[in-house]
Structure 1
C-alpha cells in the first residue's frame, strides 16, 4: 500500500442537546478527521477529538504537528504488509511531539488502518494482529448534568432501552438528588457509576463517595484534578468503591505512573486521548500486569468514524469492565457515516467485520460540516 494524498477536515457538528459536566459545556462536536488516499484509489478515514481540558491539545496544534512532523514522516513510505504498517505505527507513537498531539496520532493511525484493511481485505482488528473475541458488545448509557425535568426524561429513555450500565455526571449540589431519582426510576438491577470530571479535592471526594454509597454506585471516575495522582491514590486507599482514572490517563507514561503508585483500580482508555490503538493496547497490558482493570471510554461528540474504531478495539478484549460510545445519532445533528452504530436494547451492539473499519463515510456530510480542509498531495 502506498499513499497518494491526505486530507484533514476540521469538523463542527451541532448537538441535539448541550452536554454538560464539571469541566465544560459543549453544544457541538469538535473533531479532526483524516482521509488518506492510496495509489490504487482506496480511501481510509480516521478521527481525533482534541480536548484541551483533557490532553492540553487543540485542533490548530494538531494541524501544525501534521505539517511539521507527520506529513514528512509519511513521504514516500510504502506498506507491503501488516507487519510493516504496525512497525510504522509504533514509530509514529514515538515521534517527537506525539505525546502532545494524541488526537492527531489517533486520527492518522486509524485512517492508515482503515485504508490498509480495505487494501488487504482485512478488518482493522486483523491488520493490528488482534483476535476478535466478541460477537456482541454491551454499551453503557451516559447522562450528563441536565435540568431535573430533562434528567428524568433521559432516565426513562434509559429504562425503555433496558440498559444494564449507566454513567452519571456528578459534581454539583444536586448529585444525591439525581442518584436518588435514578434509583427510583431504574431500580437496583442496573449498574450505576458516577463521573466527577475533576470536580473535587481528595478530601471532598472521600466524603462525597461515602454519601453516594447508599445508592449502590459501582465506581467513581476522575474525582480530582487530572494532575492530582496523589489525590487519586489517597481516595483509592480510603474507599472500597473502585476509582477510575480518566483525565489522569492520557499516555503510556501516565499508565505506568498510576500503576506504580497504585492510584486507581480501573483505567479509562479512550483511543483519541491515548494516541490510538497501539498505545491503548499497551496501556491495557500495563493494567493486566499490575491488577488494574480497564474500560473503553468515548469522547463527547465523536462521529461514527471514532465510534467504529472504538468498537474494533473493544471487540478484541473480553476483559473490559465497561464500554462507552456509539452515541452518534443520539447526540449529533447528523453523522458522517451511512451505518447506524447506535446500540440497541440492553446496550447490545454487534461487532464490526471490516474490511477496514467496516463503515461508509458520507463525503457530502463530511464537507458540509468541515470549517476547514487541508490537502497534502504527492505523498
Structure 2
C-alpha cells in the first residue's frame, strides 16, 4: 500500500534516517512586534532535527501561524509523526537523489487543501532538516538544491551572489518609527517596508515623515496585513499615493481578495499578495483573476524551498513580481535557508530576513548571520545550511519535544 506522503523509496546504499526530533521552540524577541492583525513578544516555532545513520544532524524550521496556513505546533507534530520518514526517504546515494526524493514529499492535508497550504510549515521544517542533513552528509550546500530544481522558467544566477536585504519599520510609537527610519537612511538601505492600517495611527502623517527622512531614492513599501475592507480601500490608500509607494502588501482580508481584480487598477500602486499567497493554487488564482501584481513568497507558509521555487518559476513565466519574505521570529535556520535561495534566484525585487540580532534575544546558531551595512550579506559557505546549529541552544528554547525513532 503506498504511503500517503507520496515519497519515493530508494534501495541505494546511502545514509538512512535514524531519528527525527520534533521541537516546539519559544523564541524570545527583543521587542514587541505589532501589525494590524497581531501583536507578539515571542515566536512559537517548529524545529525538526534529523539524525542520519552515522550521526550527521540536520535542522529545519517552520513558523506555524493559525491565521496564515491554519497550522499550530500541535497540528505540525501530529502531521509529521504519522509517517515513516526513514522508509519514505530511503537511502539516497547522492545529494541529487536526496533532492529528488525530498521534493516529492507531500502531506495528505496539503493534498486535500484547495489552496495547497495546509501543512506547509510542517513540510518546510522537515524539508530543510532533510536537505541540511543530506547536504552535510554529501558535502553540498542547501543552495545546490536550488540549482538542481527542475521548474520550467525558473531564472537563476550563473554564480552565487551576496544578498541585499530591506529594512522593516514596525507599527511602533511614532518616535521609535522615526528613529528606525533615520537608522535605515544612515546605514544605506535601498528599500524599507512599514506597516499601515493599525488602529489609531495616522498613516499619511507617518509616511510623510518616513519618506522625508528616507529621501526619494529609497524604495518604500507598505503592508496592511488585511486591515481594510474593499469598500474603504480607495479612500484609505488615496492619501498615501503621494509618497511613491513601491508596493501595497495584502490590503484586504484573504476572504475578500477577489475584490482586488476590480480595485487593483484604481489604486495607483502595485498590489502584493501575502496572506493570499500560501500555495501554488493561490499563485494560479492570482494570474487567473488578476488580483495581484507581486507575490510575497515565504518559505514556511509556502511549504519549503522546493515548493517556493515552483511558485517563483510560475511568476517568472507570467511576469509577476516577487518578494522573498520572512516571518517575524524566524531563527538562523530559516534565515540561512532564505539566504541560499535569494543568492541563487534572479528576478526577486525585495528580500526580507536575516534580522536575527536585531529581533531575537537568543538564537540557535553559533555564527551571527545578521545582515550588515545597507542590508548586505555574503553567501553562506559550507555544506548543508552553511551554519553551525548549537543543539544545546535549541534544547534550551524547547518547551516540548517528540522523538520519532527508526532504528
1:120 matched residue in structure 2: 138
Structure 1 residue ranges (4+ consecutive) displaced by more than 6 angstroms after TM superposition:
none
Matching of residues 236-247 of structure 1 within 5 Å: 236-247=264-275
**Offset at residue 10 of structure 1 (A):** 0.5
**Offset at residue 16 of structure 1 (A):** 0.7
1:190 matched residue in structure 2: 218
Unaligned 5+ runs, structure 1:
none
2:6 matched residue in structure 1: none
Q: What is the CA–CA distance in structure 2 between the aligned matches of 1:23 and 1:333, rounded to whole Å?
A: 23
Q: Are the equivalent residues in 2 in contact too, given 1:124–1:354 (CA < 8 A)?
A: no
Unaligned 5+ runs, structure 2:
1-14, 111-116, 150-155
1:230 matched residue in structure 2: 258
**Offset at residue 30 of structure 1 (A):** 1.1
Does 2:162 correspond to 1:136?
Answer: yes
Name the SS of the counterpart of 1:231 in structure 2: helix
Q: What is the CA–CA distance in structure 2 between the aligned matches of 1:83 and 1:100, rounded to whole Å?
A: 27
Does 2:109 correspond to 1:97?
Answer: yes
Q: Which deviates the most, 181-190 or 330-339?
A: 181-190
Q: Are the equivalent residues in 2 in contact too, given 1:135–1:350 (CA < 8 A)?
A: yes
Name the SS of the counterpart of 1:317 in structure 2: coil
Q: What is the CA–CA distance in structure 2 between the aligned matches of 1:234 and 1:310, rounded to whole Å?
A: 33
Q: Are the equivalent residues in 2 in contact too, given 1:229–1:258 (CA < 8 A)?
A: no
Does 2:156 correspond to 1:156?
Answer: no
Task: Identify the match of residue 243 of structure 2 among 194, 199, 215.
Answer: 215
1:110 matched residue in structure 2: 128
Q: What is the CA–CA distance in structure 1 between the aligned matches of 2:102 and 2:249, rounded to whole Å?
A: 30
Q: Are the equivalent residues in 2 in contact too, given 1:259–1:287 (CA < 8 A)?
A: no
Number of residue equivalences:
376
Does 2:84 correspond to 1:72?
Answer: yes
Q: What is the CA–CA distance in structure 1 between the aligned matches of 2:260 and 2:66, rounded to whole Å?
A: 21
1:254 matched residue in structure 2: 282
Q: Are the equivalent residues in 1 in contact too, given 2:95–2:140 (CA < 8 A)?
A: no
Task: Identify the match of residue 368 of structure 2 among 312, 320, 340.
Answer: 340
2:7 matched residue in structure 1: none
**CA separation of 1:27/1:309 partners in 2, compared to 1, >3 Å: closer, same or farther?**
same
Q: Which deviates the most, 109-118 or 232-241?
A: 232-241
Q: Are the equivalent residues in 2 in contact too, given 1:117–1:127 (CA < 8 A)?
A: no
**Offset at residue 73 of structure 1 (A):** 4.0
What per-residue deviation string (whole Å, max 9, x for no partner) do you get for residues 73-103 of structure 1?
Answer: 43372222234323322331x3311341100
Q: What is the CA–CA distance in structure 2 between the aligned matches of 1:235 and 1:49, rounded to whole Å?
A: 31
**CA separation of 1:186/1:127 partners in 2, compared to 1, >3 Å: closer, same or farther?**
closer
Task: Identify the match of residue 81 of structure 1 among 68, 89, 94.
Answer: 94
Q: Which deviates the most, 190-199 or 366-375?
A: 366-375
Q: Which deviates the most, 253-262 or 201-210?
A: 201-210
Name the SS of the counterpart of 1:343 in structure 2: coil
Q: Which deviates the most, 306-315 or 125-134?
A: 125-134
What per-residue deviation string (whole Å, max 9, x for no partner) do you get for residues 170-211 of structure 1?
Answer: 103321121011022222121101000000112322222221
Matching of residues 1-379 of structure 1 within 5 Å: 1-68=15-82, 71-75=83-87, 77-92=90-105, 94-98=106-110, 99-128=117-146, 129=148, 133-172=159-198, 173-378=201-406
- Over aligned residues, Cα RMSD in angstroms? 1.5
Q: What is the CA–CA distance in structure 2 between the aligned matches of 1:64 and 1:185, rounded to whole Å?
A: 48
Q: What is the CA–CA distance in structure 2 between the aligned matches of 1:59 and 1:354, rounded to whole Å?
A: 30
Name the SS of the counterpart of 2:163 in structure 1: strand
2:9 matched residue in structure 1: none
Q: What is the CA–CA distance in structure 2 between the aligned matches of 1:211 and 1:238, rounded to whole Å?
A: 13
Name the SS of the counterpart of 1:103 in structure 2: helix
Q: What is the CA–CA distance in structure 2 between the aligned matches of 1:223 and 1:248, rounded to whole Å?
A: 10
Name the SS of the counterpart of 2:253 in structure 1: coil
Name the SS of the counterpart of 1:227 in structure 2: helix
User: What's the TM-score once normalised by structure 2's chain length?
Assistant: 0.89
